[in-house]
Structure 1
Amino acid sequence: MTIRLKIMLFTTVTLLAMVVLVTLLSAYNIRAQGDARIAAYRGEALEQIKNHLTDLVEVAYQTIDSNYQNLSKVEFLSNYYRKRLSDILDSGDAIIKRYKERVARGTISLEEAQFAAKEEIKTLRFDGGTGYIWINDTGQPFPRMVMHPTVPTLDGKILDSRKFNNALGREKNLFQAFVDVTRESPDGYVDYLWPKPTQDGVTDEMVPKLSYVRRHNDWGWILGTGIYIDDAEEDIKQRIITTVKGMRYDNGTGYFWINDNTLPYPTMIMHPTLPELDGTVLDDPKFNNALGVDQNLFQAFAEVTAANDSGFVDYLWPKPTPNGLSERTEKISYVKLHKPTGWIIGSGAYIDNISQTVAVQQSKIEQQVRQLIKRNIMASFVFMMFVVAVAYVLSSSFSKPIQHLTLVAEQISKGKDLDLKIAETSRSDEIGELARSIERLKTSTKIMLNRLKAASKK
């Protein structure tokens, strides 16, 4: 292999190696910078979504909590149930009015009318049997029970037992409270403790109750009915569920659901887009899609709220669209436990748009890398042609003198052309030094040959 070829080959290989190295380093830097930008974007986007979800769920939580706290507010309950309880007493009033009219017409005595009225009122039932009307009189200092449909042993008795000193917030006899509250006004409310009717009688324990009472002065009667707070609680819960079910955001695609915190598998209380889940124990294997842990996602909700009251879980879930639900899509949800009800309130955001944006950015990065490689190949080809041409010229300036010197040396070795001029002796580089050495060799050879010729003639 000639020196010229070696020089050109070395130059080409070195240049190619440099181009490849620079291209690889540039591609690596582009990808590294792109990955850093993508990671920063993903982190910022997720953080914005998490903050947004936290704010939204907090609004739903406050809606639930404020409504639930109303259970302890007599004013709220009295206003909320005013018409319902008033309508119940209206039915008792209608019976009394009918018998009063008969007394006025003289077809029945007052005693007969009162007896018949209380017997008829005794049979009235409301709210699945737990609602009823009782009658006590306005006697002082303690009233007398005229009729109680669920505790008939009280009928006719003076209500002075200490067990009746349970009017909440008043610490006094609840029947005295009925008389007091209707003294200035014909009706009013009193909250207290009382046994709750059951299919087998009444409960042994005393249950919180709110009663609405109305006075009939001409008969000296007070009619009363009430709502048990646990019944009110279920009523309020249904109201809360209806309210939360109707809450929407993000053009109707955002919603809230409620499940309980039972473990190992919670029960769905309300899901606005999948109502078929309501009341269902959420143990179906299709829910084993909590990303990163591959566990039941509702179980994950219960566990994260048991540990910290609230938290985030990412998973897969169908996405609402104008045409219905899509295939399961990446989603992250924020959940918070409402301890008084044992409800977990949650809302989520689909993060497939983040993944789509990341995919677009990754595609752009790969496109930049391909364009870089393409540009480098084109630039390196042009540059390589230039460098090869320069290398060819430079190598020629080395190889041609060496070839000439090689020819001269060969002629000297044969004793020929000893008068041949060596032009390269004027060069100042290593070739010039070699040429001058050959020139000296040529001169020495020429002298030696002349001596040999002279000696042979003697």
Structure 2
Amino acid sequence: MTLKLKLQLAISVAVLVTAVVVAGYAVGSLRSQAAADVARIRAEKTAQVKQDLADKVNTVYALIDAQYREAADERYLEQKYGQRLEAILDVAGATLREHLERARRGEVPVARAQAEALATLRAMRFDGGKGYLWINTVGRPYPTMLMHPLVPRLEGTVLDAPEFDCAGDANRNLFQLAVELTAARGEGFIRYSWPEPDGNALLPQMPKFSYVRLFKEWGWVVGTGIYVDEAVREKLAEITSGIRKIRYGSEYFWISTAESPVPRMVMHPIRPELDGQRMDAKEFELVVNGRAQNLFSAFRDLSSKDGEGFVEYTWPKPTAAGAPGPAAPKVSFVKRYRPLDWIIGTGRYVDDIEVAIAEKTAAAEEQVGALVRRIMLASLVVVVLAVAGVSFLAATLTKPLAKLVGLSRDIAEDEKHLSRRIGLRSRDEIGQLATEFDHMAERVEASFRNVREQRELLLSVLSNVPHSIYWKDRRSVYLGCNDRFAQRFGLPSTEAIVGKTDAQLGWSDEQRARLAAGDRRVMDEGAPLLDEREHLRDASGRDIDCLASRVPLRDQAGNLIGMLGVFVAIPPDDRALSA
């Protein structure tokens, strides 16, 4: 290929390479900006979505908390259940008066009328069997139980046991307080704790709200009540019913428990068939926050740790008719309501964010394509003009440069040609180039000779030192070793150590830990660590004792770049002395 053609080709390639570099830089800049815009858009929109979700859940959380606290408030209980309890005592009072009148008319003795009245009230039940009536006397200082249908062992007993100190904030005796209250006002409400009936059994004590009334004619106090948890359940049923109807767009709220091993669904407005079910179906085994796990267990674990948090997963997206549709990416916010051990959550599908990002990316790619086409067209014009100019210039340079090119080719092919010189004598720029080329060749030849001598000397020293020598980078990865090290530790050559770590040399965990500790000390302190006693195992499985020395390696600027280590084997006869 002629010099003229080479120059033409070189200029053309240079222009094309420049064009490619410029185009690559421009394309890279555009794509980098587009990627930054995409990341910004995704971050901004995701942050907006997350803030909106957190605000909505916090609102529902506050609603549930207010309703829960109201359900356990005495004023609410009086307002909600007072009339019902009064009506029950009205019925009981009417029954007692009926038996009282029979006794007054002489139809039956008083004792029999009282016994029949007690039997009648004993059989009364309401609220699914959990509601009942009891009767105690007005005795002082403590009354006596006349009738209790669930705890008959109390009947005839003076109610002074510590177990009855369960009323009000001061833990007063329940029945003593009932006597005092009815003596002062005739009737009233009392809050206390009492075992809750469950069929024929009694559950542990639960908060209870009761209404007591004095039946003065016989000196009896009649009482009945409602368990607060029943009131709370009724209130929460109203709350969940209202939350079930809340919608914002196609989104909704759900509530699950925080129980283990798998939570249950309290309320799901889109999938009401899940209500009360344990959420252990296969459909709930999803990739949540990048890890395969049960979705509702992930809600529980996250809220157990931090109280609240965000989760990312895929979930069927409701159709326009409200039915579950195809799965779509979703971000949800969950918050734990500890008084009920509920997890309140809502989410939003973020596929619309990805659609906006896809549109932004497509627009950016269109800009990139247009820019590349413009750059390529401009480059083609420049190449044509450059080739024309080079053709004219090459005609005046071909002959004097031929010799320079030939020698340059020889030197490039083999360094032995560094001893040759061009010897071109000319006062123009090409002559000056040839002279400087000869000077450069002399200096390069001297440098090659010096490097070769130093390398041969270093290899000779390393090969003849009777100790194991190695060197590592700052990550404790081997960069090289001498022949002695390679032979002792089973390496086929010194080159085989490059890129390995201590874990790949067959040493035990204890040995590797000691070596790593020594390496870290040298790397961290930047100071030599000399004559440390080490116990290693060579390639033949033989244990050897040695003295290990490590020194830091630094570059010309003084920066720590690694370390060099030496293992000096201790002869068997010297081990006892060095121990």
Q: TM-score range by the shorter chain?
A: 0.7 to 0.9
* Equivalent runs, 1:55-204 vs 2, <5 Å: 55-70=55-70, 72-96=72-96, 98-99=98-99, 106=105, 108=107, 111=110, 113-200=113-200, 202=202
Deviation at 1:49, TM superposition (A): 2.0
Per-residue displacement from partner, 1:436-456 (whole Å, max 9, x unpaired)? Answer: xxxxxxxxxxxxxxxxxxxxx
Aligned to 1:278: 275
Deviation at 1:321, TM superposition (A): 3.5
**Kept after mapping to 1: 8 A contact 2:254/2:269:** yes
Aligned to 1:299: 297
Aligned pair 1:329/2:363, yes or no? no
Say if 1:172 and 1:398 are closer, same or farther in 2 by CA, change over 3 A: closer
**Kept after mapping to 1: 8 A contact 2:8/2:390:** no
Aligned to 1:343: 342
Say if 1:115 and 1:384 are closer, same or farther in 2 by CA, change over 3 A: same
For 1:201 and 1:12, the matched residues in 2 are separated by 98
**Kept after mapping to 1: 8 A contact 2:7/2:390:** no
Unaligned runs of 5+ in 1: 403-428, 431-458
Aligned to 2:317: 319
- Partner SS for 1:89: helix
Say if 1:98 and 1:254 are closer, same or farther in 2 by CA, change over 3 A: farther
Aligned-residue identity in percent = 38
Say if 1:187 and 1:334 are closer, same or farther in 2 by CA, change over 3 A: same
Aligned to 1:372: 371
Aligned to 2:29: 29
Deviation at 1:189, TM superposition (A): 1.0
For 2:135 and 2:298, the matched residues in 1 are separated by 53
For 2:9 and 2:360, the matched residues in 1 are separated by 41
Amino acid at match of 1:270: M
**Kept after mapping to 2: 8 A contact 1:187/1:212:** yes
Deviation at 1:350, TM superposition (A): 1.5
Aligned pair 1:309/2:332, yes or no? no
**Kept after mapping to 2: 8 A contact 1:291/1:316:** no
For 1:102 and 1:87, the matched residues in 2 are separated by 23
Deviation at 1:107, TM superposition (A): 7.8
Per-residue displacement from partner, 1:81-127 (whole Å, max 9, x unpaired)? Answer: 223323432332343455567678x4846836544433222211112
Say if 1:211 and 1:62 are closer, same or farther in 2 by CA, change over 3 A: same
Number of aligned positions between the proteins: 399
Amino acid at match of 2:344: I
User: Which shows bigger deviation, 144-153 or 280-289?
Assistant: 144-153
Unaligned runs of 5+ in 2: 399-427, 430-579
**Kept after mapping to 2: 8 A contact 1:191/1:210:** yes
Amino acid at match of 2:277: T
- Partner SS for 2:339: coil
Aligned to 2:515: none
Cα-Cα RMSD? 3.5
Amino acid at match of 2:297: Q
- Partner SS for 1:166: strand
* Equivalent runs, 1:410-421 vs 2, <5 Å: none
* Equivalent runs, 1:239-254 vs 2, <5 Å: 239-248=238-247, 250-251=248-249, 253-254=250-251
Aligned to 1:414: none
Say if 1:33 and 1:102 are closer, same or farther in 2 by CA, change over 3 A: same
Deviation at 1:163, TM superposition (A): 4.0
**Kept after mapping to 2: 8 A contact 1:336/1:345:** yes
Q: Give me the TM-score of the superposition, normalised by structure 1.
A: 0.75
Deviation at 1:367, TM superposition (A): 0.9
More helix per residue: 1
Deviation at 1:312, TM superposition (A): 1.8
Deviation at 1:334, TM superposition (A): 1.7
Deviation at 1:10, TM superposition (A): 4.8
Aligned pair 1:227/2:219, yes or no? no
Amino acid at match of 2:355: Q
**Kept after mapping to 2: 8 A contact 1:319/1:327:** yes
Say if 1:398 and 1:246 are closer, same or farther in 2 by CA, change over 3 A: closer
**Kept after mapping to 2: 8 A contact 1:4/1:392:** no
Say if 1:231 and 1:14 are closer, same or farther in 2 by CA, change over 3 A: same
**Kept after mapping to 1: 8 A contact 2:23/2:375:** yes
**Kept after mapping to 2: 8 A contact 1:3/1:395:** no
Deviation at 1:192, TM superposition (A): 2.1
Deviation at 1:327, TM superposition (A): 0.8
More strand per residue: 2
Deviation at 1:11, TM superposition (A): 4.4
Deviation at 1:41, TM superposition (A): 1.8
For 2:131 and 2:155, the matched residues in 1 are separated by 18
For 2:300 and 2:53, the matched residues in 1 are separated by 18
* Greater gyration radius: 1
For 2:320 and 2:341, the matched residues in 1 are separated by 33
Say if 1:383 and 1:398 are closer, same or farther in 2 by CA, change over 3 A: closer
Aligned to 2:508: none
- Partner SS for 1:333: strand
Per-residue displacement from partner, 1:338-376 (whole Å, max 9, x unpaired)? Answer: 233222222212111221111111111111111112222
For 2:304 and 2:74, the matched residues in 1 are separated by 32
Amino acid at match of 1:84: R
Q: Give me the TM-score of the superposition, normalised by structure 2.
A: 0.61
- Partner SS for 1:182: helix
**Kept after mapping to 2: 8 A contact 1:196/1:206:** yes
Say if 1:298 and 1:152 are closer, same or farther in 2 by CA, change over 3 A: closer
